[in-house]
Structure 1
Amino acid sequence: MKPFADLLERLLYTQGRNAKIALLADYFATRPDPERGYALAAIAGKLDFPGAKPAVLRALVATRADPELFALSYDYVGDLAEAIALIWPKAEVESPPELPSVVDQLRRTPREAIPALIATWLDASDVSTRIALIKLITGGLRVGASLRLAKLALAQRFGVEVDAIEEIWHGLLPPYPTLFDWLERRTARPDPGTTPVFRPPMLAHPIEDTDRAGLDWSAYRAEWKWDGIRVQLVATPGGKRLYSRGADDISASFPEILAAMEFNAVLDGELLVIRDGVVAPFADLQQRLNRKIVSAKARAEYPVAVRLYDMLFDGAADLRGLPFDQRRARLEAWFAATTPARMDISPQIDFETEADLAGLRASARDDGIEGLMLKAAASPYLAGRPKGYWWKWKRDPLSLDCVLMYAQRGHGRRSSFYSDYTFGVWTEEGRLVPIGKAYSGYTDAELLVLDKWIRSHTTATYGPVREVEPGIVLEIGFDAAQRSSRHKSGIALRFPRILRLRLDKPVAEADRLETATRLIGAAAV
């Protein structure tokens, strides 16, 4: 565990992206199998130990430290692994376990014996190793090292294209022996064959004023940007899967889509709730997300469908190298011949000038649409976000001036700062009701201002959460407002972020609930 602990510690305190990649590359090149494979799996979030959840660790630390003292320490530190590691009695003899041994023993040990096993490891480890051990067990590394960075590190160190790793990734299993055999030139690249693996999606860049000024509009095709979730439908002789854009297998949540995938193709599209041909608000789709078991009632109330954008494979034929126009023609011909249930094709928009599209974009919110997509007619389907091929021209965000109500510490490098903020608006009776939560959009300088103010204006604490007196106004940007029975305000904001601190504005002049209510379904202003 010690080399893995050293890696996590160095990643946590290393700021530069290239420097993090170099650290990961060195680790993967110098550590043996299967240690490096399990480290990669930990970064990928592919290790799960059902008998060693955070509640087990909290109960365990209560046997070695005063529970009240630990609660105070955890509240101050803001990170479970760090709080346990610091309060745990000092090791008399340091003899930490090896990473592969930890994984193997956690998988083989009966659930009731796991707390004692973890205690043995903590007793034999220094503070940094304890932190790494607990983060490994709970799956919350939070050291600023994403799976994408790890793949870039592997590509850089072993001299391969990162897209070549992406192409086979979802057919591999920890601790990835076939991956490292290929990277070190002992075997050929693993072939996923007919396994229904995820292919890296092509993404769009937000289009700025300077980009639009130099654009040859005749070279692009326009489509609506639908307000659902991007999905990839993979159906092969080896099986079928429905993946989210982030490569999560969401097949179980949408069995009716899986049942409709009676074909041999890989398709790119948008998952939506559609009733009588009309796209429902994103809030309706949220009722179906992250559910392992979906009732017949939920399927009837929130009927889902996929609006298709692109075609990556037609049978065994890889179409990704073809220009967009040719892939679109193949998709339309395939759809006409196949007519799969619960699917249609996203229509293209006829236009001649930028002004034509600008007018359509302005009305997008009225129709429950996020905005426009622009795709170069000649563009191949490339993994990642290559600039110049695909652009997204989203509708302007809505905004409200809200009052800061609650704050909580962040994670990773923000674990010492109050960086997660719950904000609210005024009711007619003069009460504040929460309407959303945000933890992005502010600068480091603004974070310091907010953190200092929160510490000196706390009125109550609820575990790790601080309630503060109404004194700070935040301008909140968001994509849409929707009704929500889970919020006291009755409203939830979609993708809220902090646009700026309104230190110039008295809290009494912040927006009211009636203003927020009017924004449900409203057009951008």
Structure 2
Amino acid sequence: MNRFAALLDRLAYEPRRNAKLRLIMDYFRHTPDPERGYALAAMTNALMFKEAKPGLIRGLVEERTDPELFRMSYHYVGDLAETVALIWPAPGHESVAPVSGGTPAIGHNNPPPHVPTLTEVVETLATASKSDLPAKVAGWLDALDEKGRWALLKLITRELRVGVSARLAKTAVAQLGGIEPDEVELIWHGLEAPYDDLFAWVEGHGPKPESGNPAPFRPPMLSHPLEEEDFEKLEAPDFVAEWKWDGIRLQAVSGHDSHGRPVRRIYSRTGEDVSRAFPDLVEALTFEGAIDGELLIVREGRVQSFNVLQQRLNRKAVTPKLIAEFPVLLRVYDILTEGDEDLRDLPFVERRKRLEELVARIDDPRIDLSPMVPFETWEDLAAARADPASVGAGPDADAIEGCMIKRASSPYLPGRPKGYWYKWKRDPYLVDAVMMYGQRGHGKRSSFYSDYTFGVWRDGPSGEELVPVGKAYHGFTDEELVKLDRYVRNHTVNRFGPVREVEYGKDRGLVLEVAFEGLQRSSRHKSGVAMRFPRINRIRWDKPAAEADRIETLEKILERGEKEIHPLKDQEA
């Protein structure tokens, strides 16, 4: 466990990608199985512990230390794992109170505790009962040093936050044996921790693992945001365009098992099997192959906004009423396999022809084809992006958030390869709002007030007042963060734990230009509206607070493009 903790600590302070890659490779090269396999699972977020929750950690530390001191420390530090790692009584100190179901902290007459391995921790967390877990975790915290406690708690809370993506961890594994990272991606979703067969293959003393899944997930191809300077390097005739739909990315796969029985599955973009959430869509998978598309809600022939789709997502029970109220549609834009044939190496235009033929054969209203956007020049596409309804989008125009631009010759490659696919989103809405509250961030931002609540003006009982309309924590540079943090500290008028209220009014206050993707009505918010994906676009040091926007500005945006949402009133759903 200590070696894994040392790796996480070095990764957290290393900003360079290639240096992170070398650190991970060195760890994999010199760490035996299954220890390195569980480390890989942790870095790819593949571990799930049913009974180990942050609430367990809070309960343990409040029994070992003064609860008020812990809460004050947590508010200051901003990160649960870091706070507990620092405040947990070191070996040799008596506990303030006994741990539930466990033993007191180590006393002067007790022998030094056993320091657990990463394997021991993972396997115990996966199998221990809820009643046994507090004593186990407390014992580990007693045995480990500050860095080890931090790593243990990061593992339990599944929030490593050390700047390592799943792709980077898989790349490190691949480079152990000089294998392309895409080769690991292609078999990844058929593997399970601790990945002994994967390491054996990349190190040359085992066969390449094969998935026995008759309907496997394939890593999706992702796009890059299109910047203005990209147009100078890209030739319009080399590309085709489609609409970018405001839904969620899904992969639908259908095959047959060894007995010839159909196997139909739906995966999220990250490979999670979500078939149970969409039984109505599973019924429509009457083909054999894998297709890539966007999940949407369609009512009376019109694609609904993402706000409506959210009401269908993450429901514990998928009832007939829910299915009828929120009918799903998979709008497909690519095909990966058909039958036993892998089509991913074909150029996009050839895959598109095969996809059109497949959708025609499926002939089901729950699966349709995402239309192409005709254009000859970038100016033509810019006009279509600005007004989708003018180029054939019709009543679905409100559900379009921009264009996807794809190189006609591009194969279907896993990950985010450069130069093939681009997303060109529609310009966001902008509103000038006044900062009202600042809150401490988490992780590397725990010492900064980096989360800002902002409001706009409206008529109140005693005149004009500010009403909160959103909260944002990104969009600014590191230099701007320092200035914003200083502003919050210098203009605080009230404190609520980790939150500070700053001074604001007609003659004082900081104006933030906020960009956001859309609005919806919300009875849970004081203003009656909720923003989608708000971010700080610009700090208006030059603008008086009295000139910030009013709530009527947001009402006009709602009237133009958003329908009022009426949540499904179904207790069972």
1:453 aligns with 2:487: yes
Which of these residues, 381, 384, 394, is aligned with residue 412 of structure 2?
381
1:505 aligns with 2:536: no
In the other structure, the counterpart of 2:458 is 427
Measured against aligned partners, the alpha-carbon deviations of 1:466-485 in whole angstroms (never above 9, x if no partner) come to 33333222111112222233
In the other structure, the counterpart of 1:359 is 383
In the other structure, the counterpart of 2:310 is 286
1:486 aligns with 2:524: yes
Task: Give structure 2 stretches of 5+ with no counterpart.
Answer: 93-111, 258-262, 390-396, 562-573
CA distance in 1, matches of 2:273, 2:455: 35
1:18 aligns with 2:18: yes
SS at 1:62's partner residue?
helix
**Percentage of pairs with the same residue:** 55
CA distance in 1, matches of 2:224, 2:125: 43
In the other structure, the counterpart of 1:174 is 193
- Paired amino acid for 1:347: P
- Paired amino acid for 1:18: N
- Paired amino acid for 1:64: R
TM-score (norm 1): 0.95
Contact 2:359-2:367 at 8 Å conserved across structures:
no
In the other structure, the counterpart of 2:363 is 339
Which of these residues, 115, 118, 122, is aligned with residue 99 of structure 1?
118
CA distance in 2, matches of 1:226, 1:333: 22
**Displacement over 6 Å in runs of 4+:** none
**1:21-420 aligned within 5 A:** 21-92=21-92, 93=112, 95-238=114-257, 239-364=263-388, 367-420=398-451
Measured against aligned partners, the alpha-carbon deviations of 1:100-141 in whole angstroms (never above 9, x if no partner) come to 111222233221121111111111111110111111112111
Contact 2:182-2:414 at 8 Å conserved across structures:
yes
SS at 2:215's partner residue?
coil
- Paired amino acid for 1:375: K
In the other structure, the counterpart of 2:95 is none
Following superposition, the deviation at residue 193 of structure 1 comes to: 4.1
- Paired amino acid for 1:243: Y
Measured against aligned partners, the alpha-carbon deviations of 1:387-445 in whole angstroms (never above 9, x if no partner) come to 33222222111111112223322222112222222222222223322222222111111
- Paired amino acid for 2:534: P
Measured against aligned partners, the alpha-carbon deviations of 1:330-360 in whole angstroms (never above 9, x if no partner) come to 1111122222341100112233333332221
SS at 1:198's partner residue?
coil
Following superposition, the deviation at residue 522 of structure 1 comes to: 4.1
CA distance in 1, matches of 2:483, 2:78: 19
1:520 aligns with 2:539: no
Measured against aligned partners, the alpha-carbon deviations of 1:46-79 in whole angstroms (never above 9, x if no partner) come to 2222222111111111111000011101111111
- Paired amino acid for 2:28: F
SS at 1:63's partner residue?
helix
CA distance in 2, matches of 1:316, 1:292: 35
SS at 1:400's partner residue?
strand
Contact 1:232-1:242 at 8 Å conserved across structures:
yes
SS at 1:474's partner residue?
strand
Q: CA RMSD in A?
A: 1.9
Task: Give structure 1 stretches of 5+ with no counterpart.
Answer: none
- Paired amino acid for 1:506: P
CA distance in 2, matches of 1:335, 1:520: 35
Contact 2:76-2:446 at 8 Å conserved across structures:
no
The number of equivalent residue pairs is 523
Measured against aligned partners, the alpha-carbon deviations of 1:244-280 in whole angstroms (never above 9, x if no partner) come to 2233333232221122223211001111111122111
- Paired amino acid for 1:199: R
CA distance in 1, matches of 2:526, 2:265: 38
